[in-house]
């Protein structure tokens, strides 16, 4: 037991020092994939949730039939986009797949309106600092063509990203989820 203590104590001490120096951000600020869940409040304490992987029909069940469908082929893949006013929900499949659109799994989304929020309450028009306070610095940061700053959070357990496009006033203007094909 004494030998084990001598061997593990330096590693444990180094871990604690590292944790103290980083303020715990390495462990505390990892954004979970569950943050990609979209929540729509329906009043009277009721809400509806949409998650990547849910069938597109769930989006239609929650938001109705007021969408425009766009289909784009690229190589062996087909992207189906359901546009609801200013938001988009998409699925990706092989061009050979003949399944109806509503049966395909939700692959990604782009939100521009304030209807939905994430489990942590992240919503369009909020200050980006609230996201950064909860989950720390983004994995990457880039400028978009329309002058916004895209803060991208990657997930350690899957090939997906949650992106917050932020304006010059530090307000979130778009939230989008994208997954690798």
Angle of CA points 80, 83, 89, to nearest 5° = 55
What lies within 8 Å, CB to CB, of 168 at 6+ separation is 147
Check residue 2 and give its pLDDT.
54
Task: Please list the alpha-helical segments (H only) found in the chain.
Answer: 2-22, 25-28, 56-63, 128-135
**CATH of segment(s) 31-179:** 2.60.460
* Strands (E) located in 9-119: 38-43, 46-50, 68-74, 77-84, 87-94, 108-111, 116-117
Q: Which residues of the chain have pLDDT under 50?
A: 1, 4-28
At 33-65, the pLDDT tens digits run 999 999 998 887 789 999 999 999 999 999 999
């Amino acid at each position: 037991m004494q030998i084990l203590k001598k061997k593990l104590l330096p590693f444990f001490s180094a871990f604690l020092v590292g944790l103290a120096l980083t303020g715990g951000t390495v462990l505390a600020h990892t954004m979970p994939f569950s943050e990609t869940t979209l929540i729509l409040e329906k009043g009277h304490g009721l809400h509806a949730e949409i998650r990547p992987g849910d069938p597109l029909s769930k989006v239609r069940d929650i938001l109705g039939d007021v969408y425009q469908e766009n289909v784009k082929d690229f190589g062996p893949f087909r992207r189906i986009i359901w546009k609801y006013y200013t938001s988009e929900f998409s699925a990706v499949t092989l061009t050979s797949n003949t399944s109806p659109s509503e049966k395909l799994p939700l692959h990604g989304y782009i939100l521009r309106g304030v209807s939905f929020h994430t489990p942590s309450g992240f919503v369009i028009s909020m200050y980006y600092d609230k996201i950064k306070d909860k989950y720390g610095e983004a994995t990457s940061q880039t400028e978009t063509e329309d002058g916004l700053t895209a803060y991208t959070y990657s997930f350690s357990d899957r090939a997906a990203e949650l992106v917050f496009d932020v304006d010059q006033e530090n307000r979130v203007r778009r939230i989008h989820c994208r997954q690798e094909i």
